Structure 1
Amino acid sequence: MRIEYRNDYLSIKKFNPVDVPDFIVLTGINGSGKSHLLKAIEGGQVLVDGVTGGGTLFSAETFKLNDDTGVQTHSIRQAKEQAWRTFDSGVRARLRQSADAIADQLPDLVRQAAELNVPLLQLPGGGVFGQYKLEIRGFLSPISSGARMHDQAQIYPSLLNMLMRLPYPGHDLTRDEFDKYFRVSDGERALLPLHLGRVIWSYYVEMQANRNRRYTNLEYGSGLASYSDEEFFEYYGDKPWDVLNSILEEFGSLDYRIPSPEGMDSFLDYRLKIQSKSNPELSLDFSNLSSGERVMFALVGAMYRAGTVERFPQVVLLDEIDASLHPSMIRIMLSIIENILVKKGIKVILVTHSATTVALSPDGSIYIMNRRGEDRIRPSVKNEALEILSEGFVTLEKGLLLMEELDKTGTCIITEGYNTVFLRRALDLYGVEGVTVISGLESRTGNRQLRTLFDFFARVPHKNKVIIIWDCDVAIDVESVNNTYALQIDKNPKNKVARKGIENAFHEDLLMPFCDSYPSADGSERFSFKSNCKRDFERMILGRNDVGDFSHFEGLCKKIKEINCS
């Protein structure tokens, strides 16, 4: 696909057009304009393959299935009747008019479709047949205004989906044929099913209605149009709940299933809730799931639609939907995008800050967003992208080397900068054994790199325990998981001369030789630790080797010992 500038949008200014694969993983530093680019594509300020309609944009908050608000059975029957009236009273004549232009070709085209076992409108071909296909698509595409707004917005897309399944032209459809091919629930041109409960219940109502007609024919000889179960499944596809549960089984990481509606009264209303496999008494809405589970269920929905409908958005824009996913889930997400969505003809741009996503992405799919310049979007490789994401720490090779080093130790500690020497001495003085403070990373372990490291170890399977320790002045909002623990040096409120950094954990008197003095507003003298004296202070403390100097570390050492022994 080609991405090209059309108009300015926020930080997106004129840039050189770039030809990229149909699926790219776009990354870069914060503030480089990645989200602005997606918004610009959505709004048409940036074009993808010349598509002026923009793209369908999802964030981590919007890439999810909606809770089911309930399906009224009578509304399904009414929708089908209204669709038939719309088709029979106006659409049929328009289809016949288009078919007249290729009347001499139609018999041969229908024969080709039958031989290839594909719907007529999905046969390749240009010329007058290509024009015929374009006319039908154009006529039945929804528009936003006009006297028939409801028909066009709600019914026309469903009619087009029906025509896309037919092995022959649609202008001579009988009512029985219409009932066979029309689906009430598939009108949206969307990546995700907007109302999964409606999909399930519409199918079930049709299935039960067919069985009722079959029974009536057997009992009374009525001659109603009906099918055997095998014929019904051939025309309508497999049961949606079975298909969805099969996809869930393939994922393997979701402890939920879609309960079958079979046995329910098809004349009653219906509301979908998913069921826990480990606790069958527990029924949940999609909003009750974790953020990662919601994303995975959205992928389940996308896979289901990919197997049941033919019309999708041309361009899908995904803004960090992977932020809460485990590596195994990220692998599934990438596989679905590459092997299902792209093969359906969908162009996909995935913006990410996840090192795991970059590491698992297909070769040739990585692109970097530059903050400025005319080459805003440029091809990259995994190592460069990982360097950018982690500010020079976790490239694939460095991550693997670090994992190899950790495998040689028991419990290990990674901490900010040169805190390593203080923590190593504190553990020694308090007799904590079997714990290694990793050295050699001092120049690459600031606050942000520690967060990257925590995310890395929280997601990548490892046997040994990893403890990440932050300074007292850093706000951390992570939970210990996957043998990866988050600790923080407690704030020492009595230390007024060093209010941040590891120096805050020591008594003021020890810091005084390394302080500047200045008068305060009340005329008293105040002191502040000189940051350029850090190494001098370190040498002095290590030289004293006094457990009393490390009294503020006692609680931290106790927590480390508990983790190591757990």
Structure 2
Amino acid sequence: MKIKIRQNHKSIQSGLKFELPMFTVLTGENGSGKTHLFEAISNTKNGEVHLDGSLLNTISYIPFGGLNPQVDQQCDPAQISQRVKQVWQEVVNAKQRAYRNQQGVAYSGPPENDPILGYIGNQQHRDEILDISKKLSTPPSQLTEDLVADRISIMAISGGSLFNSQFALIFKSYHVRYLDNKLNKIYAEDGISDAPPFLEDAEFKAKYGEAPWIFVNDVLEKLKLPYTVNNPMNTMRDTTFVFKLIHKNSSIEINTNDLSTGEKTLMSLALAIYNSTGTRDRAGFLVLDEPDAPLHPSMSKLMLEIIEEEIVRKHKIPVLLSTHSPTTIACTPANALYKISASDKAPIQCDLQDSMKILTYGIPNLRVSTEHRRQVFVEHTYDVDYYEALFDIVSRREKFTVTPQFLPPHTLNGSNCDAVLEITRKLRDMGNTHVYGLIDWDLKNSPEQQVIILGLGKRYAIENYVFEPHFLGLYLIHKKFVTPNVLGLVDCNSYLDVIKRIETDNSSLQIIVDHVQNNISWENEDTIMVKSELLDGSEIEVRKEVFEMKGHKLEDLIKESWPSLRSVRSNNGGDSALKKDVINTVINDFPGLLSKDISLTFSSIS
């Protein structure tokens, strides 16, 4: 994701350029300019954000303290129709004024140039009308009240922002649309002439999204909040809906005002996720200023997990947030940590230790416990990056009792493998029980005390996990080096389509595997297939050659098959660039598709 600042904004100078990953946690001292930077980015007239070459026009900025939901207890459906009519009346008035000034000439050009837009005084309503017009390819002056009522977003009805749209209003609006659509279907089936059009259930869900109460309850479950929300489905269309929170254990109704500050914040987050990822009000980029400020440390971890899982990974919406919390920093994936300084406003990547130094500067008696850390020596400096990233990814699904600190060996004798064995043995013999060695199998290595073999008896080296055929295929599609159709997914047009396909049909993985393997010129003509067990419980069948070939040789072979992969390189990354990028993109997107061997290896570090 590439970001550019066009104009000066407070302490942020024009011309500032930098790149960020899809999920970024930014820290820095007070006064370093985090809030100024967020304000500059979120102003689309100033901030220019490109994702995969496309300009993002919808940037939602939630300032400090913005996670504060307006939880109205009830909604009368008359409110909904009244607010829709308010928006429509502005259109009617604008039409009349524009018609007089245009001397009765009807407008037929592009929606954004329609003269009536200049006569709609409410900015939010004007933007909503223009959005509806663009989606329908119809000028605003040619819209009808029915079209507006059918297409208007909930946020436009509520007059709220992303995070304070009202629960009761959202739920009741969806309920009204659902019942109206069912009624239209009955009219059509009964043969009533001129019956309004209706949508089948799948079409309705595609247009209006999942029922908000189902989505919110699912998010509350993931946030480990002990509540469920009610819904209006067992009520009449025109009755007032009263929003309630129900405690799971006691079944007691909880007033939303009785929630703790942290619980209200997470409730707001659940609502924001629904608003920002929906089919109608989808955000292009989400920027949050210290959303974790009111949260207990345990809730900070849940907040990060739900943002990364639901917004970033599932819906492919980039998120940038700031924090001053050491807990949040400690729970952040390694590749997502960035810092900013007062002298250099461009965010730069940093590690956990660097972030902690910033947050604990001037507090000499504060230290981070290393009781649950283990030093793990690996064969190469590049391996440190691979294993750190893989551990962060697997940790989203699996719980580990210790946290490994991966280190390269610093001895001068022998190969990298020998160096790991030498330093591990020396430290072990000195009584250090918290140090481990982690080496590749190489078809010959054997485990010993505090020395772990990756893929023992199964795979040659770490490359044989990173370049597993399904990950290679997903990466080729992600980078647009091939189309999904080339790898057998004929009904998919994009990487996002492939993600949705895999989520609903896991057999798609084997299709990708087979097509990838058929495109590689193998040395051995004999095809021996072996099963690969994945973290999500699924299995795929892969050529044995993929697992037992030397890692570097396998990488060379796939580059020969897809020369475009040679373009993936970095200035100082050596031959690690491709492996790093595969890990940070498709493996990060699909942690459940990693081999179980990776998780078992990390579990061996105790």
Q: TM-score, normalised by structure 1?
A: 0.51
Partner of 2:166: 195
Out of 245, 251, 255, the residue aligned to residue 274 of structure 1 is: 245
| Pair 1:401 & 2:380 matched | no
State the partner residue of 2:18: 19
Q: Does 1:334 align with 2:304?
A: yes
After TM superposition, give the deviation of residue 201 of structure 1 in Å: 0.9
Deviations 1:16-46 (A, max 9, x none): 8240315432212344443454456668997
- How do 1:500-515 residues align onto structure 2 when only pairs under 5 Å count? none
- What is the rounded CA distance, in whole Å, between the counterparts of 2:26 and 2:165 in structure 1? 27
Are the counterparts in 1 of residues 108 and 139 from structure 2 also a CA contact under 8 Å?
no
Change (3 A) 1:213 1:363: same
| Residue 240 in structure 1 maps to residue 212 in structure 2 | yes
What is the deviation of 1:303? 1.9
Do residues 297 (structure 1) and 267 (structure 2) align? yes
Q: 2:81 aligns with which of 77, 83, 95?
A: 77
Equivalence for 2:476: none
CA contact (8 A) 1:320 1:350 kept: yes
Q: How does 1:407-486 map to 2 (within 5 A)?
A: none
8 Å CA contact retained: 2:95, 2:116? no
Q: Which runs of 5+ in 1 are unaligned?
A: 102-131, 406-459, 464-566
Name the CA shift for 1:15/1:238 in 2 (closer, same or farther; >3 Å): closer
How far, CA to CA, are the matches of 1:341 and 1:140 in structure 2? 37
Contact 1:157–1:189 (8 Å) recurs in 2: no
**Cα distance in structure 2, aligned partners of 1:379 and 1:218:** 60
> Superposition pairs for residues 197-236 of structure 1, below 5 Å?
197-212=168-183, 224-225=195-196, 227=198, 230=201, 232-233=204-205, 235-236=207-208
User: Separation in 2 of the partners of 1:306 and 1:70?
Assistant: 23
Find the aligned partners of 1:14 and 1:235 in 2 and give their Cα distance. Answer: 42
**Contact 2:58/2:283 (<8 A) preserved:** no
Whole-angstrom CA distance in 2 between matches of 1:253 and 1:197: 22
**Counterparts of 1:290 and 1:368 in 2: how far apart (Å)?**
31
Distance 1:232 1:57 in 2: 29
State the distance in 1 between where 2:320 and 2:293 align: 15
Following superposition of structure 1 onto structure 2, how do residues 361-380 of structure 1 map, counting pairs within 5 Å? Answer: 361-371=332-342, 373-374=343-344, 377-380=347-350
- Change in Cα spacing, 1:191 to 1:347, as seen in structure 2 (3 Å) is farther
2: distance between equivalents of 1:289 and 1:76?
Answer: 27
Give 1:256 deviation, angstroms. 1.5
Structure 2 counterpart SS, 1:306: helix
Number of the residue aligned with 1:359 = 330
Instruction: Tell me the CA shift for residue 217 of structure 1.
Output: 7.2
Equivalent residue of 1:264, what SS? coil
- Supply the AA of the counterpart residue of 2:210: D
Rate the CA distance shift 1:85–1:369 in 2: closer, same or farther, 3 A. Answer: closer
Structure 1 residue 384: Cα displacement: 0.9
**Which residue among 224, 227, 231 is the counterpart of 1:253?**
224
The aligned counterpart of 1:390 is 360
Aligned partner of residue 262 in structure 1, secondary structure: coil
Structure 2 stretches of 5 or more lacking a match?
Answer: 100-104, 375-398, 403-606
Contact 1:71–1:270 (Cα < 8 Å) also in 2: yes
Counterpart residue type for residue 235 of structure 2:
M
Other-structure match for 2:3 = 2
Which whole-Å deviations, capped at 9, do the CAs of 1:311-359 have from their partners, x for residues lacking one? 5566644222113435664344334544554576866432211222223
Per the alignment, in what secondary structure is the counterpart of residue 2 of structure 1? strand
Q: State the TM-score, normalized to the length of structure 2.
A: 0.48
SS in 2 for 1:401: coil
Asked if the contact 2:168–2:242 (Cα under 8 Å) also holds between the matched residues in 1, the reply is yes
**Partners of 1:159 and 1:147 in 2: CA distance:** 12
SS of 2:25's partner is strand
Residue 305 of structure 1 and its aligned partner are, at CA, apart by 1.7
Identity, in percent, stands at: 24
1:306 has 2:276 as partner: yes
SS at match of 2:295: coil
Give the residue type in structure 1 aligned to 2:269.
L
Contact 2:5–2:41 under 8 Å retained in 1: no
Secondary structure of the corresponding residue to residue 402 of structure 1: coil
1:284 deviates by 1.9
Contact 2:94-2:120 within 8 A present in 1 as well? no
Aligned to 2:370, the other structure's residue is in SS state: helix
Q: In the aligned structure 2, how far is the partner of 1:333 from the partner of 1:340? A: 11
List per-residue Cα deviations over 1:418-452 (Å, max 9, x = no partner): xxxxxxxxxxxxxxxxxxxxxxxxxxxxxxxxxxx
- Kindly indicate whether the alpha-carbon contact (under 8 Å) linking 2:57 and 2:284 is maintained by their aligned counterparts in 1: no
Could you tell me whether the CA contact under 8 Å between 1:70 and 1:197 is conserved in 2?
Answer: yes
User: 1:253 Cα shift?
Assistant: 0.6
Contact 1:319 1:352 in 2 (8 A): yes
Number of equivalenced pairs: 361
2:223, 2:302 within 8 Å by CA — same for their partners in 1? no
The higher relative CO (CA closer than 8 Å, separation ≥ 6) is in 1
After TM superposition, give the deviation of residue 208 of structure 1 in Å: 3.0
Root mean square deviation, CA, Å? 4.9
8 Å Cα contact 1:303/1:336 also seen in 2? no
Deviation at 1:81, TM superposition (A): 4.6
Match of 2:65 among 29, 39, 61: 61
User: Residues 229 and 275 from structure 1, CA distance in 2 versus in 1: closer, same or farther, beyond 3 angstroms?
Assistant: farther
CA 1:5–1:402: 2 relative to 1, 3 Å = farther
Q: CA deviation at 1:375?
A: 5.7
- Deviation per CA, 1:129-171: give whole Å up to 9, x if none: xxx5xx54x76998xxx64314x533x34434545655x6578
